[in-house]
Amino acid sequence: MRLFTSLLLLALSTQALADASQNLTQQLQKMDSLQGDFAQTITDNKGKTLQTTTGQFTIKRPGYFLWQTHSPNEQLVVGNPQKLWVYDPDLEQVRVRPQNTKTDNSPARLLSGDFASLAPQFEVKENTQNKTDNFTLTPKNKDAENFSQIQFGFEDGKLATMSFVDKLGQQTALSLKNTKSNLPLDIKIFTFEAKPGTDVIQND
């Protein structure tokens, strides 16, 4: 009887994880594109705040994003499936390198990615309270992933919060506001054109 009960609980738990993964994939795949404002806080593994920033973002799935932060940490990050540009206006400098999703831990890359192909690599748990759906993701193979945990929060069906913890325990938490999804976007905006006088650094 104990064995049957254990097997039943295991089956129910496995089904719950599968349902949660499917629910999250469906939520994210509704957003072909997303624009809005963000507030971002980065803390270390002891909870000490390292950086707070605000700005605007635009993503188009899969693989296109534009992430602009305000002063005092002003920066523009533009990415497409081929290249990534990181522009620092204060330095009049842009760094360019091939896009590499395996080493890019940014929220922009996560939001613009193809979660359907990523989902099998994570266990997904869902917690629903009132009109808020929270999904917590932990990698099945911790050695193969850049993150020890990822969380998505949806309010009234809209993505509202996101956070991820890297292998060193550093956490990046995002609050999204004024979001608009599935607007028509010209993919030309996801290619950075350096102004005359800008120092261009190529990183292969």
| pLDDT tens-place string over residues 57-85 | 999 988 899 999 997 889 999 999 899 99
Which residue matches tokens 């842009």?
Answer: 94
């990698």: which residue's tokens? 139
**Region at 81 (left for phi over 0; alpha for psi -120 to 50; beta for the rest):** alpha
- What residue type is 93 in one-letter code? Q
Q: What is the pLDDT of residue 4?
A: 41
Provide the 10 A C-beta neighbour count for residue 64: 20
Q: Compute the average pLDDT of residues 87-97.
A: 94
The domain locations on the chain are 32-202
Question: At 110, is the pLDDT very low, low, confident or very high (cuts 50, 70, 90)?
Answer: confident
Query: Mean pLDDT score of the chain, rounded to an integer?
Result: 84
pLDDT over 90 (residue 174): yes
When pLDDT is averaged across residues 165-183 and rounded to a whole number, the result is 93
Lowest-pLDDT range of 23-37, 139-153, 169-183: 139-153
Separation CA 100–CA 85 (nearest Å): 12
Q: Residue 31 has what pLDDT?
A: 87
When pLDDT is cut at 50, 70 and 90, the band that residue 122 belongs to is confident
d(CA 68, CA 105): 16
Asked whether residue 22 carries a pLDDT value surpassing 50, the answer given is yes
What is the average per-residue pLDDT within 20-44?
Answer: 90
pTM greater than 0.85:
no
Residue pair 125/136 in contact (Cβ under 8 Å)? The answer is yes
CATH topology for the 32-202 domain = outer membrane lipoprotein receptor (LolB), chain A (2.50.20)
